[in-house]
Every structure is written in C-alpha cells, then in structure tokens.
A and B are shown apart, each in its own frame.
Chain A
C-alpha cells in the first residue's frame, strides 16, 4: 500500500455530506471503499427519540480518533481513513457519524471499518443525550467504562 495513507478527522456541528466525504476518501491505488454511517434512530421498541445531542472532549476525541486511525492503517494496510462525528443536536435520520476506509481489497476495508466504529464507541470521549417524545432528556452512559483499556 501507498507509503502515505491519508487520515481525515472531523468533529462538526454541520450536517455530514457523505457524498463529498466518499469522493475525498477515494484513491487510485484502492479498489475498496467501505462507508459506515450511523444515523439517529427514532424508534427503539416502544420508545421514540426526537433528538440526540452530542458533546465531546474535543482535543482528546480528535487525538483518539487519529490514534485509532493510525492503528487501523497499520493493521489492515489502508490507503485512507475518514472519521466525521456530529456535535450538537441531531434529529431522527440525521447522520451522526461516518467512517470510511479505503484499501486495495474489500476484506481489509470491511474489517477496518467495523473495528474503527467499535473503537469510536469504546474509547473516544463523545457522549450523547437522548431526548424522548415527552421532552425528557437523559445522557447515555453505559454501565461499563472501557476508556482506559486497550484491544
């Protein structure tokens, strides 16, 4: 793979333009481009979400996303990694996070994309507050804290 893999990391309050991101992630030496988009789910069982509001410890979140991107590049010989995460209020259907991996072949791109998304949810300091249809807002904090752990 190319000696100069590209990394693009962004935290943004603006809507994520996925088409532009994909174009940016393309490389002529990569035949596989895998895109994951996480969108705001409105219906979860009997619960209805009207908004998710994201907050980050921005300098650390960017540093962690860059760290895991470099890790993924080394593990799967990627040509590029792009990670964009929304901040602020997102409505149902909005893209909250996008991860794009480029590799020579699809198996590496798929594996790296899945791994990166797992790592984002596990160790990047970003939090969401769920507002339900009654207007009640609750921050989401999983029972386990894996922030200081490695994989």
Chain B
C-alpha cells in the first residue's frame, strides 16, 4: 500500500519536501510508521522520534493502526505564539 506522510517545520526542511510517499507491504501502527520513516530517511532520526503522529487531524497513540485512506502527518513539538 502507498501512504502519504505530511511533514512540517524542521522535519520538512531536513527532508527537502513537505511529504514522504511510503510503500508498505502491510498496515502499520504509528510507532512502526516512525521507524519506517527513519529507515527510509535516516537524516530525520532524532526529531522524528520526538514527533506525534496525527491521523485525519487527531493525535493517535503509538499502537494505533494507520489505514491507506488516512491523512497522516508527523508533527514536531509545536512553537506557535
């Protein structure tokens, strides 16, 4: 399955793109997704591990599953205001 992962701020800057397109052989949890991202793009290690995963605009837990139809984003610690 193909999954689009949205990236923001420093993560976007390091990746050189506002999204990653992952090809997965099976569904993954949020925690597994972060590991797949780090394997694919080792330069994102560190900050990626401090990110929250959002699914359709809501933060999910590390064991929550991700579906191919979900809008997924990796959200670094925020700094608005």
A interface list, Cβ under 8 A from B: 38, 54-57, 59-61, 63, 85, 96-97, 117, 120-129, 138-148
Given contacts A126-B80, A141-B10, 13 further A-B contacts (CB under 8 A): A38-B81, A57-B6, A57-B73, A122-B78, A125-B75, A126-B81, A127-B79, A141-B9, A141-B76, A141-B77, A147-B59, A147-B75, A147-B78
B51: interface (CB < 8 Å): yes
- Taking a contact as CB atoms under 8 Å apart, the answer to whether B57 and A121 are in contact is no
Binary interface encoding of chain B residues 47-71 relative to chain A, with 1 for a CB under 8 A from any of its CBs, else 0 = 1001110100101110000000000
Known: A55-B8, A125-B8, A127-B8. A145 touches B81 (CB 8 A): no
| Size of interface on B: residues with Cβ below 8 Å to A | 23
**B contact residues around A141 at 8 Å (CB):** 9-10, 47, 50, 76-77, 79
B interface list, Cβ under 8 A from A: 6, 8-10, 12-13, 47, 50-52, 54, 57, 59-61, 73, 75-81
Is the contact region of chain A dominated by helix, strand, or loop, or is it mixed? Answer: mixed
9 interchain pairs (CB within 8 A)? Answer: A97-B81, A121-B79, A126-B80, A139-B10, A140-B79, A145-B51, A146-B77, A148-B60, A148-B61
